[in-house]
Structure 1
Amino acid sequence: MQPELRVAVIAAGERWPEGNLRPAVEDQWGAGSVLQLLRADGWSAISPEANTVADTFCAVARDLATALYDCARGRELISIGYVDDVETATQLDSSSVVPRLQHGAFTSTLYRCGIPDCRILRLLVW
């Protein structure tokens, strides 16, 4: 049974020094991975926009590593020496901890997932 919850999944992007918002396809894929898990778990009240984001993740999931290495931010990170960060982002379901959002900001306190299947907590960290 689907829980009586409202969930917001946000592909954050980033802000350039000039203040302009830079959309980030890798953030969209990360959000899509969470949304796809919700769909696979039987959540049906998902907006058309969220379904599109989940579909976008499914389209790259077969070769996520290549997609992350080839996207603009992946190439940028590799060019400045952060290839290990990109490699880490290719590993789905590899952590059982998530950052805690407290008073509108992420804190260094980490919550351990008490659920045997922590896939719903997947994050792509850039």
Structure 2
Amino acid sequence: MKYALLVTGHPTQSKACHSALAFAKCIHAHPEHELLGIFFYEESVAVANCFANPPRDEYNLLAQWEDFHKTATCPLYICIAAGIRRGILNEAESKRHELDGQNCSNSFQLEGLGTWVELNSQADKVVQFR
């Protein structure tokens, strides 16, 4: 079974990013299933902000997603429009908008909605986390 995940809930104001991570880990643990990609849209793009560091005694959701990306090699996509609108920039977008610095974790790729459409069409199941 091929899965595509859509995450829309803010990482600190909902459990969407946490639940999506747990679900993604379950899919990865079963070799008969394939996770085609995870697309972060709307408020969920904040999860990729590497400048947002929680206190040491709090759960570091970004670090957990980065660890998952390393082990699962599953693409993590940030909607480029939603990301830029909320100040999430990689190096290329930072240069294009003539801004100093980037804050998008290297584990995430900025992509357009066309990437989501492609994932959606290739997947047997699509699961959304709000």
| TM-score of the aligned structures, taking structure 2 as reference length | 0.30
Larger Rg: 1
